[in-house]
Structure 1
Amino acid sequence: MAQADQEMTHEELMTLPVTVPLETANRALGIGRTRGYDMAKREAYPVRVLRHGRRYTVSRYDLHRHLGVADEGDVHGRAEAA
């Protein structure tokens, strides 16, 4: 399967849980599995990676921030309505 076919849609990004496995973050960022794990181990991943024993997770907040995606209820960076 081509990597472009695996990329996440905006709707999928908006419905992610608070933390996601590294494989899900890889998909959201368009990074392959092997490269993503290698980057996480070398502390070179594009967003903060949380390690839980042998598992790696990434926060939805960090993914959204890196990708420039804002939740509909997020008012940060928006001008206040008059």
Structure 2
Amino acid sequence: MSHDELLALPTTVSVETAARAIRLGRTRAYEPARRGQFPCKVIRIGTSYRVVTADLRRILGIEPN
């Protein structure tokens, strides 16, 4: 995922999108998300998991201009 793509992401993204950004596979991303051990803040909404984009950018060292 490119720098520009990361800056264009909405406020929250799916676990799959976050996993792609940090180069994790889908299954390897959902396991820690379910256990509360994902490297970014994860919000559970019903049966869905959403990753906070600002936190994702922070761990990747990407700041908006």
TM-score (norm 1): 0.76
Highest relative contact order (Cα 8 Å, sep 6+), 1 or 2?
Answer: 2
Q: Which runs of 5+ in 2 are unaligned?
A: none
Compute the displacement of 1:25 (Å): 0.6
Query: Is the helix fraction higher in 1 or 2?
Result: 2
Runs of 4+ in 1 over 3 A off after TM superposition: none
Count of residues in correspondence between the two structures: 65
1:47-78 Cα offsets, whole Å, 9 max, x none, are 11100011000111101111110000xxxxxx
Unaligned segments of structure 1, at least 5 residues: 1-7, 73-82
Aligned match of 2:40: 47
Root mean square deviation, CA, Å: 0.7
Name the % identity: 48
Question: Which AA in structure 2 matches 1:31?
Answer: L
Higher strand share: 2
1:9 is matched with which residue?
A: 2
Q: TM-score, with normalisation over the residues of structure 2?
A: 0.94
